[in-house]
Amino acid sequence: MFQKVLIAEDLDSINLAIDYVVRELAIAEIHHVKYCDDAIPKIKRALADGKPFDLLISDLSFKEDGRKVTLASGEELITAVKNIQPELPVLVYSIEDRNYRIKSLFEVQHVNGFVLKGRDSILQLKKAIQAIFESDQPYLAPELKHILVDKTTATIEPIDIQIIKHLSEGVQQEEMEQVFKQKGIAPNSKSTIEKRIGKLKLLFRANNTVHLVAMAKDLGLI
């Protein structure tokens, strides 16, 4: 079993629950951080001491409290950690339930497991830690495994999500080029946006952009 675990979670109640599970598994050394930024020096120090962490358990959302931070989310933390200690197994424990975001954790962030916070999540968390220790296969609860083989989300890129998100916020297709340029979102040419909206409508078999947004919401993309 893992012997040294770092937990990145900003809520005390959740920290206590994770701590309980980790101790039940007889993991000897447990470290906690409430800010993503604080995890990086701990990981670097552990590597320098020749006693690296065996597992990172992280939330995705961290509440702002006025402290200036460099890493504001779990995704940003995972990316930074993978640059420092690429082989470190990562288990995400989050309330995030959007299919696209969960799938991207495995395909983009290359996490080892995901557990959805909920009624039975403590049991799932214990199973996930054991599964990640025993196997190289990604861990998802049985009811979520369909996400990894979902062909629809596989063809959608981050820019597509931005387009759908802005459509849902009332930005008209004709206005999107200017809005994207102002926000520094790329690609942002009128022709690219038109082609991507057309592709998305075909993919979802949507009659119009309103229908497209509704279907994207149903799939948990936004």
Domain boundary among 122, 149, 176: 149
Please list, residue by residue across 130-158, b when 16 or more beta carbons sit within 10 angstroms of its beta carbon and e when fewer do.
Answer: ebbeeeeebbbbeebeebbeeeebeebee
Give the pLDDT confidence score for residue 141 in this predicted structure: 84
The per-residue pLDDT for range 148-180, each reduced to its tens digit, is 766 666 567 778 889 999 999 999 988 999 999
Same domain flag for 182 and 116: no
Answer yes or no: do 106 and 180 share one domain. Answer: no
CB burial of residue 117 (10 Å; 0-12, 13-18, 19+): middle
Domain end (from 100, 127, 149): 149
The domain total for the chain is 2
Cα–Cα distance for residue pair 198/176, rounded to 1 Å:
14
pLDDT of residue 10: 95
Nearest in space to 94 (alpha carbons), one of 67, 65, 60, 127: 60
- Average pLDDT of the chain, as a whole number: 90
Q: Decide if pLDDT at 39 tops 90.
A: yes
In this structure, the answer to whether residues 86 and 173 fall within a common structural domain is: no
Q: Is 144 in the same domain as 166? A: no
User: Looking at residue 6, what is its pLDDT?
Assistant: 98
CATH number at residue 208: 1.10.10
Q: Same domain, yes or no, for 37 and 73?
A: yes
pLDDT for 151 equals 62
Same domain, 132 and 169: no
Residue range 2-31: mean pLDDT, rounded: 95
Same structural domain, 18 and 90 = yes
**In this prediction, what percent of the chain has a pLDDT beyond 90?**
65
List all residues 6 or more positions away from 221 whose beta carbon is below 8 Å from its beta carbon: 98, 99, 100, 153, 156, 161, 164
| Cα 131 to Cα 104: distance, rounded to the nearest angstrom | 20
- Which segment of 78-82, 84-88, 118-122, 129-133 scores lowest on mean pLDDT? 118-122
Do the Cβ atoms of 36 and 84 come closer than 8 Å?
A: no
Residue 152: the pLDDT is 62
pTM above threshold 0.85: no
Q: What is the pLDDT of residue 220?
A: 66
Task: Answer yes or no: do 159 and 141 share one domain.
Answer: no
> Where residue 90 falls among pLDDT bands split at 50, 70, 90?
very high
Which one has a higher pLDDT value, 173 or 133? Answer: 133
% of the chain exceeding 70 in pLDDT: 96
Q: What is the pLDDT of residue 155?
A: 66
- Using an 8 Å Cβ cutoff, are 107 and 101 in contact? no
Q: Which pLDDT band holds residue 100 (cuts at 50, 70, 90)?
A: confident
- Asked if residue 73 and residue 121 are part of one domain, the reply reads yes
100: domain CATH number is 3.40.50.2300
Q: What is the mean pLDDT of residues 129-151?
A: 85
Domain that holds residue 176: 155-218
32-to-44, 69, 82, 86, 90 alpha-carbon distances in Å? 15, 17, 18, 20, 15
Return the pLDDT at 144. 82
What span, in angstroms and rounded, lies between the C-alpha atoms of 100 and 104?
6
Q: Within this chain, do residues 75 and 171 fall inside the same structural domain, yes or no? A: no
How big is the chain, counted in residues?
222
- Let me know whether 9 and 85 are in one domain: yes
- 149, 164, 190: which is the final residue of a domain? 149
pLDDT higher than threshold 90 for residue 210: yes
Q: Mean pLDDT across the stretch 116-121?
A: 88
**Do the bridges between strand 139-140 and strand 90-94 make them parallel or antiparallel, or are there none, so unpaired?**
unpaired
Same domain, 186 and 133: no
